[in-house]
Amino acid sequence: MQTQQRGAVIVVRPEGPLTVAEADGFRSRVSELIRENLGRVVVDASGLPYVDSRGLESLAEVAQELATTGKGLKVCAANDTIRQVLDLTGLSPHFEHFEDANAAVRSFL
Amino acid sequence: MATDKSAARQAFAARSELLRGDSLFAVLVFAVVAVFLFTLITSVWRNLAFSKDVRQKAGVQNAKVVAGVLATTAEALITTDELSTLRRVLAEAGLEHDLRWCRVVLPDGGIVADAKPADITVVKLPTSWEGQAAVASHEFSDGVAKFTFPLTISGRGEATLEVAAEIGGRLDAGLAPQTAQMAIACLALASMLLVHRHARFRLKAIGTIHEILLAVGGKDGNADFSMLELDPKLGREAVAWNKLLSERHSTQIEQAIEQVRETLHDRPQAADEVATAFDVAPFGLLLVDDRMKVTRANGAAAVLLRAERDGMVRCDVAQVIEHERIVAEIRAATRDAASKRAVIEAEHNGSVVAGVLRFTICPVRHDGAHFALVAIEDVTQQRVAQEAMNSFLAKAAHELRTPLTNVRLFVEDALEQCERDVVATSKCLNVINDEAQRLERTVSEILSVSEIEAGSFGLKHDDVRVDVLLQQLKADHEAQARAKRIEIVFELPPKLPVIQGDRDKIALVLHNLLGNALKYTLEGGRVVVTAAVEKGRINVGVSDTGIGITADEVERVFDKFYRSKDRQANAVTGSGLGLAISREVARLHGGDITLESQHGEGSTFTLTLPAAEGEA
């Protein structure tokens, strides 16, 4: 999982599918970054081919954590598969979607 | 409240269980007593029956012996013709042994002698008589034992002695003491049961209190004590217990009222629409009272102040906000009725990137109480962007002014010398041309950067043949390498994938990387371009034996307009935008550019781009 500092924002880019094997690590790492960076975190989904149910759960948990601070989880460059999964599971409204990382970073302005 | 009811229910259930246990014990005691009584009565009855049987047998035996003696005596006395003696003997025997009858009967039925003289029918005994006597027999029925003895009177004939004795009367007399014993035992048992019942009734209240205390002993003291009240009929102890409970209940209510008052004053109110709105606000909110205690805080405030949300409430605001100036403003807002809204920006640990928070402190007046509402916004990104923009403008102006100055100076020279010296004029025009191209490049790069910043830096999606791009790259830079006597080597695999991306922009990145390598490598150096596919990504590396970059500058070379402080590097012209744009292009493709460098030894830039699997 790569992280890029863009201005005051951290862009997290998981590589490969987000499944039961990676979900807990992803969840704890993103939570840690949210705390360290006062919530200025973007999840770049361009490296995510697909997510399984546990991966979805971890994304939803992070979104829920941010929701208690009045913010949404910003996700960028999600492919059609992931967008469809989020729509079908009704989780889509819990995320803020952006085309690319720059657009997501600019939304913090 | 729900917890209280649950605790009370548990206490009550435990109590009921204990009471049920007590009832079970009582039933068991009564069962044992009943069995004991039954056993006792059965035993006495069996004893009576046995005793009656023994006495009956003894009475029959006694009557038989008496009858036998009387038969012998009667035979002798009749033989000697002493009838009067016989009759006296029989009368005495009848009285003494309580015989129902006792008589001597002739075969014709005449009664010679009888215990009751009135029944005698034969006064004088005949000399001889005929007939046979009855056979010897005995029988026992209805409490009467009857015996028949044949008498042989020598020379005269035969007679019969009939004796009947009542056995029952004697038996009844023997039973009286045992009946009395049984009656006494029953009375004793009944008394014991009465005493037990009375004692149990008297102890029931204390026992119930004991059980209740055991039941609620492990609880937190918040049980509903009204459930534990006792029936006053249980006695004085129950009344006293109820009074104790009532007092405890009153105290509990008073404490609850006090707690509610305190909560209303000091703590956040119960969840309502305002509280909910407070929580979903995207900026931090703190409500501080005139004692400088935080009375309300939302989730965003907890994150921005790096604190635990629950720990913040009722906490002194100075423990939550470390900046003295902000705390002073909050204090003023909660005390000074005339204070106005204050806005203060504060950096975390003195660093902009670590976080810049904007605190807006608004005084609140409500029902004579003074509060301060503190709104906290994270303006870090705005500050970073503002600083970047300021820096960008300053550097862009500098980069544009340098070639413009050169152009103006050489235009002046050319104007002065155009008629006298054609060669000098031509040289000036060449410089002007170079500077104009440099200006054009810079303006073009600035436009690219501004497009990136504005988010309008779009990508086309072409099939990009990396091998073709690299061959073109080699052709474009071979002359420049030759001019600087730099060896340029392409170490490429036989086949490279076709990737999806913006061909022109990827070509721009490759030109930037190779161009930089050639610019910052001294004459006689070497530049190696490699390409490899690994885990679905294509990595293009550009290594040089140039001047290198110090470790602290490795990441900064990707910043816009950043120029190395190294004197050798500064000698090379450049806008400082190429690497920034190249990295953005790579990232927009889902890739990146990384740098490894040793100062004085050379650098390796690696462009990573995603390649569709199976196309290698």
Cβ neighbours of A38 in B, within 8 Å: 303-304, 306, 355, 378, 380
Beta-carbon contacts of residue B267 (< 8 Å; ≥ 6 apart): B295, B313, B314
Q: Quick: pLDDT tens for B590-601.
A: 888 999 988 888
Q: Quick: pLDDT tens for B213-267.
A: 777 665 555 555 666 777 787 777 788 888 888 888 788 777 777 766 665 555 4
Whole-Å CA distances, B488 to A105, B485, B607: 39, 9, 18
Are the beta carbons of B300 and A67 separated by less than 8 Å? no
> What is the nearest CA distance from A88 to chain B, expressed in angstroms?
25
Residue B205: both structure tokens together: 């209240």
Structure letter (DSSP) for residue A68? T
What integer pLDDT is reported at residue B396 of this predicted model? Answer: 80
Q: Is the pLDDT of residue B315 over 70?
A: yes
3-state secondary structure (DSSP) of residue B254 = helix
Do the Cβ atoms of B82 and B193 come closer than 8 Å?
Answer: no
Do the Cβ atoms of B260 and B291 come closer than 8 Å?
Answer: no
Mean of the per-residue pLDDT values of chain A: 88
Map out the domains of chain A with their CATH numbers.
2-106 (3.30.750.24)
Q: Quick: pLDDT tens for B473-484.
A: 888 888 888 888
Pick the residue of A34, A102, A105 with the most B CBs within 10 A to test the interface with B by mutation: A102
Spell out where B507-599 has E strands.
526-534, 537-544, 592-598
Domains B20-171 and B273-377 fall in the same CATH topology: yes
Whole-Å CA distances, B73 to B17, B151, B220: 83, 10, 101
Do the Cβ atoms of B242 and B230 come closer than 8 Å?
Answer: yes
Q: Among all chains, which residue has been given the structure tokens 């392409």?
A: B490
Chain A residues near any Cβ of chain B (below 8 Å):
2, 4-5, 7-9, 34-35, 38-40, 46-47, 67-71, 77, 100-103, 105-106, 108-109
Average pLDDT, integer, range B87-111:
87
Q: What is the Cα–Cα distance from B18 to B12, expressed in whole angstroms?
A: 10
Q: How many CB atoms lie within 10 A of CB B335?
A: 13
Structure letter (DSSP) for residue B321? -
Which amino acid is located at B523 in the chain?
Answer: E
What are the strands of the beta sheet with B592-598, ordered from one edge? B487-491, B526-534, B537-544, B602-610, B592-598
Q: What is the Cα–Cα distance from B89 to B175, expressed in whole angstroms?
A: 32
Cβ neighbours of B300 in A, within 8 Å: 39, 69-71
Architecture field, domain B384-454: Orthogonal Bundle (1.10)
Q: Is the pLDDT of residue B561 over 90?
A: no
Average pLDDT, integer, range B161-178:
70
Q: Mean pLDDT lowest for which of A36-40, B125-129, B505-509, B519-523? A: B125-129
Nearest CA in chain B to A78: B590
What are the strands of the beta sheet with B144-153, ordered from one edge? B111-114, B99-105, B157-166, B144-153, B137-141
Are the beta carbons of A38 and B381 separated by less than 8 Å? no
pLDDT band at B514 (very low <50, low <70, confident <90, very high): very high
Are the beta carbons of A109 and B303 separated by less than 8 Å? no
Q: What is the Cα–Cα distance from B415 to B405, expressed in whole angstroms?
A: 15
> What is the nearest CA distance from B286 to chain A, expressed in angstroms?
13
For A109, the closest of B306, B382, B452 (CB atoms) is: B382
Straight-line distance from the first to the last Cα atom of chain B, in angstroms, rounded to the nearest whole number: 68
pLDDT band at B175 (very low <50, low <70, confident <90, very high): low
Q: What is the Cα–Cα distance from B194 to B212, expressed in whole angstroms?
A: 27
What integer pLDDT is reported at residue B192 of this predicted model? Answer: 82
Are the beta carbons of A77 and B590 separated by less than 8 Å? yes
Q: What is the DSSP string of B154-221?
A: TTTEEEEEEEEEE-HHHHHHHHHHHHHHHHHHHHHHHHHHHHHHHHHHHHHHHHHHHHHHHHHHTS-S
What integer pLDDT is reported at residue B21 of this predicted model? Answer: 46
Average pLDDT, integer, range B456-484:
86
Are the beta carbons of B378 and A38 separated by less than 8 Å? yes
What integer pLDDT is reported at residue B223 of this predicted model? Answer: 54
Beta bridge partners of B344: B359
Q: Is the pLDDT of residue B69 over 50?
A: yes
pLDDT band at A43 (very low <50, low <70, confident <90, very high): very high
Q: Mean pLDDT lowest for which of B6-20, B148-162, B454-468? A: B6-20
> What is the nearest CA distance from A29 to chain B, expressed in angstroms?
16
Please provide residue B158's backbone torsions phi and psi, each rounded to the nearest 5 degrees.
Answer: -115, 155
Kindly report the CATH number that applies to the domain delimited by B273-377. Answer: 3.30.450.20
What integer pLDDT is reported at residue B165 of this predicted model? Answer: 86
Q: Quick: pLDDT tens for B346-401.
A: 887 666 667 788 999 988 887 778 889 999 988 888 888 788 778 778 878 887 88
Q: Is the pLDDT of residue B7 over 60?
A: no
Q: Quick: pLDDT tens for B287-310.
A: 998 889 998 888 888 888 888 877
Average pLDDT, integer, range A77-97:
89
Mean of the per-residue pLDDT values of chain B: 81
- pLDDT > 90: percent of chain B: 8
For B384, the closest of A7, A46, A67 (CB atoms) is: A7
Q: What is the Cα–Cα distance from B77 to B85, expressed in whole angstroms?
A: 7
Kindly report the CATH number that applies to the domain delimited by B462-610. Answer: 3.30.565.10
Average pLDDT, integer, range B167-184:
67
Average pLDDT, integer, range B575-589:
85
Are the beta carbons of A7 and B588 separated by less than 8 Å? no
Three state DSSP letters for B206-253: HHHHHHHHHHHHCCCCCCCHHHHCCCHHHCHHHHHHHHHHHHHHHHHH
Which residue, B115, B106, B102, B105, is CA-closest to B68?
Answer: B102
Q: Quick: pLDDT tens for B324-351.
A: 889 988 888 888 655 678 888 888 766 6
What integer pLDDT is reported at residue B303 of this predicted model? Answer: 85
Cβ-Cβ pairs closer than 8 A, A with B, add up to 70
Beta bridge partners of B414: none
Q: Among all chains, which residue has been given the structure tokens 């989020």?
A: A86
Which amino acid is located at B435 in the chain?
Answer: E
Do the Cβ atoms of B469 and B492 come closer than 8 Å?
Answer: no
Taking CB atoms within 8 Å and a gap of at least 24, the contacts of B81-88 are B81/B125, B83/B112, B83/B113, B83/B124, B83/B125, B86/B112, B86/B113, B87/B113, B87/B114, B87/B117, B87/B120
Higher pLDDT, B563 or A38: A38
Q: Mean pLDDT lowest for which of B140-149, B210-219, B251-260, B312-321? A: B210-219
Domain ranges of chain B: 20-171, 229-264, 273-377, 384-454, 462-610
For B303, the closest of A9, A39, A100 (CB atoms) is: A39
Residue B440: both structure tokens together: 């054009």
> What is the nearest CA distance from A57 to chain B, expressed in angstroms?
21
Three state DSSP letters for B52-92: HHHHHHHHHHHHHHHHHHHHHHHHHHHHCCCHHHHHHHHHH
Architecture field, domain B20-171: 2-Layer Sandwich (3.30)
Whether ipTM tops 0.85, in short, is no
Q: Is the pLDDT of residue B542 over 90?
A: yes
Are the beta carbons of A70 and B378 separated by less than 8 Å? no
Higher pLDDT, B580 or B22: B580
What integer pLDDT is reported at residue B99 of this predicted model? Answer: 84
